Structure 1
Amino acid sequence: MTSTTILAEGGNSLLIPALPDLVWGTVAFVIVAISIYKLAWPTFMATLDERAEKIEKGLHAADAARAEIADQRAGLEEEIRDAHRDAEQIREKANAHAKAIMTDAQSQAHTSADQIIDNAHRRIAADSDAARRVLRAELGVLATELATRIVGESLTDSELAQRVTDRFLDELEASTPSAPQEA
């Protein structure tokens, strides 16, 4: 055997096939390649195209979903801002209403207090007048008794007794300092 060529047992080279094997192998390869190209390749490409189309539709659907979510978020944010504005308006109205209620309550309290004070003044004046009348009558009786004891005679004449009593009270009122009277 030679060192440059490796030969098989029949004198053929192991690395280089015989010409009929090379021709028939090439023909078989071309037949298999053409049948794959004609039969399997279109199905494979259709499957790939279908998958690419599904992926593209999925991407478009995802983009549409993202856009819809963004729109919904924007709508929600706008609703939240509106809710905050509405809540602020409600708080302002409630504060204004509370202030109005407080003002009304204060004015009613002042009015009630003024009425109570006026009623108290009237009652005091009426009680003072009643006390003056009672005191005047009692003083009149005491003055008549005193005059009767001083004079030593009974004042049976009612007109005379009344005049003596009135004169005595007038002198008594003139001699005592007058107290300030409240209306």
Structure 2
Amino acid sequence: MNLNASMLGQAISFVIFVWLCMKYVWPPLTAMLDERQKEIAEGLRHSENAAKELEIAKANGAQIIEDAKRNVTEMVEQGNKRRSEIISLAQQEAEQEKARILEQGRAELEGERQKLRQELQAKMADAVIESAQKLISKNLDSEANRALVDQLISEI
């Protein structure tokens, strides 16, 4: 056999093999590679979108935290203001109650004073009437009258 004929046979076999591969093997491989390339590109696009969404979420999270801090600060300020109002109101009520109690005490004191005056006046009137009766019933000298008045004063 000739070297040229065997080479030609091998070349024809190789061409048939390449043609069969190009017809039946190569299209599914290229389709699979194209599909894989699309999946990778889509995955990269999704990861870029996810990174953007993550940045947006971080920004939103920071904004939410700032809003929450601001709200907490406002609530604390409102609480302090309300506490001050309550304390002020309680102080005013205490002052009013103190004034009312003092006025009530003064009124009671004045009532007691008037009662004592009336009792004292009644006793004095009784004492004067009694002493007048004794003086009238006894006609004594001025020293005896003086002693009787001193005795009545000491009794009072």
Q: TM-score range by the shorter chain?
A: 0.7 to 0.9
**AA of the residue aligned to 1:81:** E
**AA of the residue aligned to 2:121:** R
**AA of the residue aligned to 2:94:** A
Counterpart CA distance in 2 for 1:147 and 1:70 is 113
* 1:37 equivalent in alignment to 2:33: no
What is aligned with 1:126?
A: 111
Deviations 1:8-62 (A, max 9, x none): xxxx9xxxx9443332122211221233134422321121011111111111112
Structural mapping, 1:75-86, within 5 Å: 75-86=60-71
* 1:101 equivalent in alignment to 2:86: yes
Q: Identity of aligned pairs, percent? A: 24
TM-score, normalised to structure 2's length? 0.78
Deviations 1:107-133 (A, max 9, x none): 111011012101211220121011111
- Note the residue ranges of structure 2 that are not aligned, 5 or more in a row: 139-148
Counterpart CA distance in 1 for 2:37 and 2:107 is 102
- Note the residue ranges of structure 1 that are not aligned, 5 or more in a row: 1-11, 154-167, 173-183
Counterpart CA distance in 2 for 1:79 and 1:143 is 94
* 1:52 equivalent in alignment to 2:41: no
What is aligned with 2:5?
A: 20
Q: 2:50 aligns with which of 54, 57, 65?
A: 65
**AA of the residue aligned to 1:21:** S
**AA of the residue aligned to 1:79:** I
**AA of the residue aligned to 1:116:** I
Counterpart CA distance in 1 for 2:97 and 2:12 is 121
Q: Tell which deviates more after alignment, 35-44 or 81-90.
A: 35-44
